[in-house]
Amino acid sequence: MTTPTPTAAPTGSVLPTPDELGVVLTDEPTAGTASTSPGVPLASLVRLALRRNPRRAHLLVSTVLAKHVPTVPAVALLAGEALGARVADVLDGGARLDAGAATRLREVLDLQAVLDQRFDTGQQFDTGQPVVPGQQRETDPATGAAPDSGHGSDALHRAATTLRTDLAAVRPTLPDVLVLGFAETATALGATVAEALGAGYLHSTRHDPPGATPAAGFDEAHSHATAHRLLPTEDDWLPTDGTVVLVDDELSTGATARATIRALHAVAPQRQWVVAALVDLRSDADVAATDALATELGAPVAVVALGRGRVSLPDGLTDTAADLVAAAAAPLTTGPLDNAASSNGVPTSDGRPTPGPARASSPETVTAPPTAVDRTGTPAARVRTPRTDVEGIAADLARVLTDASGRVPDRVLVLGTEEHMATPLAIADALRRRTTADVRSSTSTRSPVAVFDDPAWPIRSGIRHRSHDVTVDGPGERYAYNVHGFDAVVVVPEPGTDRGSLEGPDGLLDVLAAVTPRVVVVDSALEPAGAAPSSPRPLTGPSFGSYEPDEVTWLLQDLADAALEADTADRERAIQLEGANYAESLPVEYVPSESYEELYRDALGRSADRIAEAVGIVTDLVLRDRPNAVLVSLARAGTPVGILMRRWAEQQRGVRLQHYTASIVRGVGIDETALRWLAAHHDASQVVFVDGWTGKGAITRELTDALDRFAATDGVRFGDELAVLADPAGCTPLHGTRDDYLVPSACLNSTVSGLVSRTVFNRAWTPEGTLHGAKQYRELGARDHSRSFVATVAERFAAVCPRVDAAVAADGGPASRAVDWRGMRTVEAIGAEYGITDLHLVKPGVGETTRVLLRRVPWQVLVRDPDDVDIAHVVALARERGVPVVTRPDLSYSCVGLIHPLGSRVSDTGTDTAADAIDPTGTGPAA
């Protein structure tokens, strides 16, 4: 069954609409997918434009590609993720993009259509105003988030990001698959599909670098620039008897894909081919041609798309289109003089505001680290890591764009250039997460498209500039569309671009200065193909961890390929008897039983209010002194707490804080590479370190000592106050409470901390100058509580806010929160009583006792009250592992875990019983 897609004339339309020209989009069921997963309507994915190209009168402009029209970055990333899910479903028979996910995708695109109309017509409220710290904001009842910034894209960003994160939770990892993206429009789309699949990636190119020898090439007959080349650096870039996925934005006839498959199959026959596109518009004859190719090659050729249908074109469209273009097309801006008539702030005919006069000063510059490109090939092992320091670039851009009063521009465009789409798109999304600006992303293009300043048509304005890249077809004109009306344009050219090639009367930067009051250029060198990254590249979800990218930036490196897990007893021997640091290896990740998880759920239900209140108190204490605080949680127990503090600040106080998580290791200190990154991109005086709770205060002292050393070596001073929910040790003034109670996230390991391992400091895997590392446990995704834990606590924020306000108002100041180190005194007393000379083996408090039982070889557990519901999980774990539980009513903590002391660690043995002392079950006698 087919469904016509209406394209009624928008309000204010004067010119003929595509419908009135006789162009009709008709939806059909998507090929290669189950009937339970309907396709997306074509009208949600594309809009009709007219070309200035004699080969083809029309052009379908994608609304989700971030190519010709500025797009909310999260929407473009979601489109790639959804297409990748469709490909994965074909490859393994899964149902990732099922009916429910497809419905959510359509809802996101429906919201985009509404907001794009508002964006085009300037319907927005004031944004970017400085926020008054401490001012409570009502939350959005639909999303639980703070009110929108005024331009409406916050809700769209959140919906798209959440769906992308949900789809990413069930990503496969297919390192033997190659994804091939088509230049110039599908380079970012192909990269996102490859990321979703965990596959190697390469895109075609028209670049002509010195000495390059193409491995293959092909033509795209209908394109404005037809020649494509493949320039991989590795000889084995094309698998043999494997799977190759071709990615393009649109399949008109499929002829280019068929020609590419035939040529590459002749080089290396494949077991199967997949062609993936946003929209599939092939005729029945085209579909038959693809089926015939599969028969010819003896290998299946599957075709998947988000939307499927037909475009019906009337006879004579070429002439009709040419006449309309000649009569009504608006001129392109080509230089500063073109701005003279429109720089007085008078709105355009459709009501959109125009920028003021161009700035007299030169464009500002943000210098970025070297950047890798995908045209030489990106191996599967690196496809899920950024091609440069995306988060650092975004942080620097946010600082440059923010004025002295704290205001950011309302509308910001991040503009890539031609094939260079993926990294600019990632930077745009990161910038959107760091500011209240309505950030959009698009790129310049070779395509000459007719401009109609009318709401019926997608291309409303445009600029023309000279090319700056060296390509096989030589220099020529280039274009960028709908760039008028932005308060700032950030240009992200190909890495290694000569600045001079962007300047001059018809250069990109000068032409942009005619249409926007502010231009910022990201200047980056080209990273040699295959080279190791020259600077840290912080990670975000959904490619690292299970949290959404807005929640946390991981100052870690992904050690996915490292064999680090070791048997608990072997690790204990190495740590206690061989001088190894506990962070050199990883314990085998504990997979909780269903009964244990039930204890966790019960504990969360009982304590969510108490945790929410502690979150609110400690966050407000931080904001009182640092209204623009930068939160840096200590991975991994501090990570969910930092996320909750960030949410409290945004939802209850209207303050958007940046949140990172970094590694600290006892005996090593906090990751100095992470500190240097923070110092380079933030004001160190605004950084606040965050953890879940304190035990005896060892990490607090470790942090202070490490920051002192860093100040001495690097000349940068970070504050050493540690913000925690619970401080039973009495070692930090920034706490929500000093009660020793269960923080439910202590019950679990990775499954409540973003599916990320504890951190690793091992010079074999984390060389000098690189970040500490961690691994992901995506295989535990079905048992992941990370996001639901945060959501459950955050749901209580509004209810506890009055109690938080009262507690903070009644706070007695520094004297009432003075440090007294009560926890260390307790530990010293227990150590003396049990003859333990190494106090690292004494772990007080609910959280630390839980860690002993999950990660170490426990000796015994001391409890104040075995029937206390806050330690029910501790008692259950001890029984599960055969660890003695000793009742001690005199304890100042709810419980204390004792690690099994090996030999000389117990002072009254008088001998080194080393290996004989190990009891891997932890059932040794009580002291």
Degrees (nearest 5) of the Cα angle 624, 726, 817? 50
Report DSSP letters for 373-410, one per residue. -GGG-B-GGGTTS-SS-HHHHHHHHHHHHS-TTS---S
The whole-model pTM stands at 0.90
What is the per-residue pLDDT for 54? Answer: 63
Neighbours of 802 (CB within 10 A): 9
Q: What is the pLDDT of residues 109-161, one digit of tens each?
A: 999 999 887 766 555 433 333 333 333 334 433 333 444 555 678 999 999 99
Average of pLDDT values for 822-827?
Answer: 90
What is the per-residue pLDDT for 55? Answer: 66
Select the more confidently predicted residue: 80 or 822.
80
What is the per-residue pLDDT for 150? Answer: 53
Q: Which two tokens stand for residue 374?
A: 């995908």
| Amino acid of residue 248 | D
What is the per-residue pLDDT for 29? Answer: 81
Answer whether residue 904 shows pLDDT above 90: no
Question: Given the DSSP bridges, would you call strands 773-774 and 557-558 parallel, antiparallel or unpaired?
Answer: parallel
Tell me which residue of 643, 647, 676 sits closest to 660, measured CA to CA: 643
Average of pLDDT values for 79-94?
Answer: 97
Select the more confidently predicted residue: 880 or 590.
880
The Cα-based distances of 378 to 234, 321, 385 in angstroms read 10, 41, 10
Q: Give the CB-side neighbour count of residue 203, counting CA atoms within 13 A.
A: 29
**What is the DSSP-derived secondary structure letter of residue 792?**
H
Q: What is the pLDDT of residues 559-589, one digit of tens each?
A: 998 989 888 788 878 888 777 888 888 988 8
Cβ atoms 44, 110 nearer than 8 A: yes
pLDDT over 70, % of the chain = 87
The number of residues in the chain equals 927
Helices (H), 268-362: 284-297, 317-328
Average per-residue pLDDT for the chain: 87
Q: What is the pLDDT of residues 443-488, one digit of tens each?
A: 999 999 999 999 999 999 999 999 998 888 889 999 999 999 999 9
Degrees (nearest 5) of the Cα angle 808, 638, 583? 150
Sheet holding 895-899, edge to edge: 842-844, 895-899, 858-863, 885-887
Q: What is the pLDDT of residues 717-748, one digit of tens each?
A: 999 999 999 999 999 999 999 998 888 888 88
Euclidean distance between CA atoms 494 and 205, whole angstroms: 13
Cβ atoms 727, 823 nearer than 8 A: no
Average of pLDDT values for 344-368?
Answer: 57
Cβ atoms 855, 767 nearer than 8 A: no
Cβ atoms 702, 666 nearer than 8 A: yes
The Cα-based distances of 906 to 90, 831, 914 in angstroms read 60, 9, 11
Answer whether residue 10 shows pLDDT above 70: no
Answer whether residue 173 shows pLDDT above 60: yes
Categorize the per-residue pLDDT at 389 as very low, low, confident or very high, splitting at 50, 70 and 90: very high
Question: Distance from first CA to last CA of the chain, Å, rounded?
Answer: 78
| Amino acid of residue 519 | V
Per the DSSP assignment, residues forming a β-bridge with 412 are 439, 488
What is the per-residue pLDDT for 31? Answer: 58
Q: What is the pLDDT of residues 640-683, one digit of tens each?
A: 999 999 999 999 999 999 999 999 998 999 999 999 999 999 99
